[in-house]
């Protein structure tokens, strides 16, 4: 009977509590709120074994990983660094690959031209045959491309008014259970609102109250006559007709005058091929169902988009396309998402649902992450205080005088506790000291102008690749050093 979020937490708890040398996690952040994701980040950073992780959350990948294993065209390529470093390195490799492909095509065309011209001439036949063999030996390079089928955009809303939707002094909840009160919220065509809050604070309840699925316990909901809500949530995916194909479900809501070719082109922008367009969606994966639900929403040209965790089940390409489409959308957006990148790129107003209130959050997502950690610590402190109050009281005694021997033992104990961290700090500092002169040597070589001549192109590309890898390693070690120093500082502070 648990929700997706609580089921994921239980599975994670069971997995993380098992002592292991190798930890395999497949989309662990799906259905988790940002608070749980930040906690999981901290836990995985401290994990001492080998972690192999699949995730579509780029911020999560950036925080956790130091290598990216990329699978494309039935090949595995290992990149050093986190996801952002991988994107940069891969784009450079794609550019180099494209240059090599274009150069090879030019060479092939030149050889073929010679063959076509002289293969029939007796005096040139041997040379032509030589070039035919050279052409056959030449390894076929593929043109560089980024393999993403998603290019959709939100259609312009047909009609607008302002405000589109208002909650006035509203109390929200279920039955007799009130979750938040005195909410004042106005949504205009330019609203870009991100909803923040801990798990169970009431974000989804507020969303359902805005949509009208939940009646208000008190206050008033005022909707414009022109209001057209596009609502995406988990139950929207569940409500899809499993026996119907994507084409049929789109045709049901489309104007009869719209051609089949137009409908197919629209579904194609969401990554549905001809075969999948005509396949009943009961066999679809979670990602395909999410894409279809989004497609049906986009088609109806809403003027207010209310999205509750829209990126669950979506891969990185689709998440990027969704982010770009939302940035260009001409209506209002209300968004709940655990994906920081999406909130940061789409929303310009943050509202915090916490402690039975919905108020404007002053600050950005980094401030919110800090607030979450502090709020979690306050909760732990409060629970500890309650436990201590409930335990049997003891008579306070005056502190005994601490002699020098006790101080010496305490100092030794502290040194022993911090020794592993200090050893790690020394190890990382040593690695940085080795990398810095290597990088300096490469950058000195790159300053040589003769390196940029056409004849030395391969040398240049090799040095640039080495420079990229060294920079990624250096950045990784510097971040690791900073984290270790902060950990040491926190540990020493806890002794006082």
Q: Is the pLDDT confidence value at 443 over 90?
A: no
Asked if 270 and 291 count as a contact pair (C-beta separation under 8 A), the reply is yes
Q: Which helix (H) or strand (E) holds 439?
A: helix 404-446
What is the assigned CATH class of domain 165-371? Answer: alpha beta
Asked if 442 and 470 count as a contact pair (C-beta separation under 8 A), the reply is yes
How large is the average pLDDT for residues 477-489?
Answer: 77
Output the pLDDT for position 131.
Answer: 64
Question: Is domain 1-147 classified as CATH 3.30.1330.10?
Answer: no
pTM assigned to the model: 0.62
Output the pLDDT for position 429.
Answer: 84
Give the tens place of pLDDT for each residue, 376-428: 788 788 888 887 777 655 444 444 444 667 777 777 777 788 888 888 888 88
Asked if 30 and 53 count as a contact pair (C-beta separation under 8 A), the reply is no
Phi then psi for 7, rounded to 5 degrees?
-65, -40
How large is the average pLDDT for residues 182-189?
Answer: 94
Q: Where are the beta strands (DSSP E) in 323-477?
A: 332-336, 349-354, 357-360
Output the pLDDT for position 399.
Answer: 47
**How far apart (Å, rounded) are the C-alpha atoms in residues 385 and 389?**
6
Asked if 58 and 342 count as a contact pair (C-beta separation under 8 A), the reply is no
**How far apart (Å, rounded) are the C-alpha atoms in residues 41 and 299?**
37
Q: Rounded to whole angstroms, what are the CA distances from 389 to 163, 292, 378, 385, 399? A: 51, 54, 16, 6, 21
- Specify the pairing of strand 349-354 against strand 192-196: parallel
Output the pLDDT for position 398.
Answer: 43
Phi then psi for 190, rounded to 5 degrees?
-100, 5
The alpha carbon torsion through 385, 389, 392, 393 (nearest 10 deg) reads: 100
Q: What is the DSSP string of 12-39?
A: HHHHHTS--SEEEEESTTTT--HHHHHH
Q: Rounded to whole angstroms, what are the CA distances from 301 to 158, 162, 325, 329? A: 7, 17, 13, 10
Q: What sign has the CA pseudo-torsion 203, 204, 206, 207?
A: positive
User: How many percent of the chain have pLDDT more than 90?
Assistant: 30
Q: Is the pLDDT confidence value at 368 over 60?
A: yes
Q: What confidence tier does 72 reach under pLDDT thresholds 50, 70, 90?
A: confident
Output the pLDDT for position 5.
Answer: 65
How large is the average pLDDT for residues 72-87?
Answer: 87
Other C-beta atoms lying within 10 Å of the C-beta of residue 376: 14
Q: Rounded to whole angstroms, what are the CA distances from 382 to 36, 38, 141, 155, 496? A: 19, 21, 63, 49, 21
> Closest Cα to residue 476, out of 64, 51, 89?
64
Helix, strand, or coil here: 494?
Answer: helix
**How far apart (Å, rounded) are the C-alpha atoms in residues 309 and 307?**
6
Higher pLDDT, 89 or 248: 248
Domains of the chain, by residue range, sit at: 1-147, 165-371, 408-495
Asked if 233 and 308 count as a contact pair (C-beta separation under 8 A), the reply is yes
Q: Where are the beta strands (DSSP E) in 162-266?
A: 165-174, 177-187, 192-196, 218-223, 229-232
Q: Is the pLDDT confidence value at 137 over 70?
A: no
271: left (phi over 0), alpha (psi -120 to 50) or beta: left
Q: Tell me whether domains 1-147 and 165-371 share a fold.
A: yes
- The alpha carbons of the chain give a radius of gyration, in whole angstroms, of 30
Which class for 141: exposed (0-12), middle (13-18), buried (19 or more C-beta within 10 A)?
Answer: middle
**How far apart (Å, rounded) are the C-alpha atoms in residues 298 and 317?**
18
Q: Is the pLDDT confidence value at 248 over 80?
A: yes
State both tokens at 398.
């005056």
Q: Which helix (H) or strand (E) holds 367?
A: helix 365-390
């Amino acid at each position: 009977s648990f929700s997706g979020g609580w089921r994921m937490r239980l599975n994670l708890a069971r997995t993380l509590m098992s002592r292991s040398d190798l930890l395999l996690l497949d989309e662990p952040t799906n259905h988790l709120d940002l608070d749980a994701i930040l906690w999981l980040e901290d836990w995985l950073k401290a994990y001492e074994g080998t972690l192999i992780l699949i995730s579509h959350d780029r911020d999560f990948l950036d925080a956790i990983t130091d290598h990216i294993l990329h699978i494309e065209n039935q090949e595995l390529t290992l990149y050093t660094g986190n996801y952002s470093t991988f994107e940069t390195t891969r784009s450079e490799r794609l550019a180099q690959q494209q240059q090599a492909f274009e150069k090879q095509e030019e060479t092939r065309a030149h050889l073929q031209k010679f063959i076509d011209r002289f293969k029939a001439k007796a005096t040139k036949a041997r040379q032509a045959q030589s070039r035919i063999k050279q052409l056959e030996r030449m390894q076929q390079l593929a043109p560089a491309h980024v393999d993403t089928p998603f290019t959709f955009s939100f259609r312009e809303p047909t009609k607008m008014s302002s405000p589109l939707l208002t909650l006035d002094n509203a109390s929200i909840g279920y039955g007799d259970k009130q979750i938040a009160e005195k909410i004042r919220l106005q949504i205009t065509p330019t609203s870009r609102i991100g909803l923040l809050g801990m798990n169970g604070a009431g974000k989804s309840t507020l969303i359902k109250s805005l949509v009208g699925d939940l009646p208000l316990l008190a206050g008033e909901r005022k909707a414009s006559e022109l209001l057209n809500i596009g609502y995406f949530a988990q139950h929207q995916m569940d409500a899809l007709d499993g026996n119907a194909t994507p084409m049929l479900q789109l045709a049901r809501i489309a104007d009869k005058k719209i051609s089949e070719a137009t409908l197919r082109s629209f579904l194609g922008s969401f990554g549905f091929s001809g075969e999948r367009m005509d396949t009943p969606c009961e066999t679809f994966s979670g990602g395909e169902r999410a894409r279809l639900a989004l497609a049906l929403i986009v088609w109806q040209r809403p003027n207010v988009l209310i999205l509750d965790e829209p990126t669950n089940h979506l891969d990185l390409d689709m998440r990027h396309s969704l982010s770009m489409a939302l940035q260009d959308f001409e209506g209002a957006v209300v968004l709940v998402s655990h994906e920081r990148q999406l909130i940061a790129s789409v929303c310009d107003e943050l509202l915090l649902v916490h402690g039975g209130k919905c108020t404007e959050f002053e600050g950005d997502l980094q401030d919110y992450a800090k607030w979450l950690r502090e709020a979690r610590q306050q909760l732990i402190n409060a629970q500890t205080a309650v436990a201590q109050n409930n335990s049997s009281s003891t008579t306070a005694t005056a502190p005994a005088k601490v002699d020098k021997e006790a101080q010496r033992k305490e100092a030794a104990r502290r040194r022993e506790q911090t020794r592993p961290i200090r050893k790690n700090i020394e190890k990382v500092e040593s690695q940085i000291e080795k990398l810095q002169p290597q990088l300096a040597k490469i950058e000195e070589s790159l300053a040589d102008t003769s390196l940029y001549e056409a004849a030395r192109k391969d040398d240049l590309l090799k040095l640039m690749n080495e420079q990229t890898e060294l920079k990624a390693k250096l950045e990784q070690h510097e971040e690791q050093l900073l984290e270790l120093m902060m950990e040491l500082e926190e540990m020493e502070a806890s002794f006082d």
